[in-house]
Amino acid sequence: MFDIDNIQYNPDTRQYTCCCQCNSSQNAKQICSKYLMVARTFDTVGELYSRGATAIIGATNVKAAQNIAYYINANFFMPPLDIYVFYGNSRKELTDRWCVGFDHPDSAHLIEKLNIQHPLVIAAKEPQDWITADGNSYSVILLPGVIDPKPSQELNQRVTLCLEAIQNVTFRRLNPIILQAC
């Protein structure tokens, strides 16, 4: 994790830096590539780079460095987000179909962001309308658009699009779990 209590000023680069010692240089590079845009969201000239097995945040002020570190710590270092792929039943008598569901505390905001990711990625406006064979429902439901209950290559491609969209808006690692069809 990034050590938020140890932000240093580097007079050579004129940046405040915050470091994260990773397990490997590959892990450090992964953090940097995945969260570069996050660094630029909090500081227009913010940087995220690695030196060996260390990922480094560079920002123009302490607050920006802290915000970037908090964000990455809260997302990358959390356990993977469980994502359920299931053949869902509609409570509104719509045609049953494959669904991708998960729970998230800020589901309304997330649904809005997911619906602008890709034209084939559709987050249900009323996720409580879709349930698993066991009667479970999730706070966020994506509808890949596949109605055939048999797994197929098209289903795999559509689910992959959904997973990419989820990762793009949550910045979390994902743990896809496939539930049995009805």
Q: Which helix (H) or strand (E) holds 156?
A: helix 153-170
Span 10-29, pLDDT tens digits: 999 899 999 999 999 999 99
Question: What is the per-residue pLDDT across 42-53, written as a single tens digit (0 to 9) for each?
Answer: 888 889 999 999
Q: Is 105 left (phi over 0), alpha (psi -120 to 50) or beta?
A: alpha
Position 179 confidence tier, pLDDT thresholds 50, 70, 90: confident
pLDDT, the chain, mean: 90
Taking only the tens place, the pLDDT of each residue in 52-65 is: 999 999 999 999 99
Residue 129 and residue 140: Cα distance in Å, rounded?
11
Question: Is-contact 99 182, C-beta < 8 A?
Answer: no
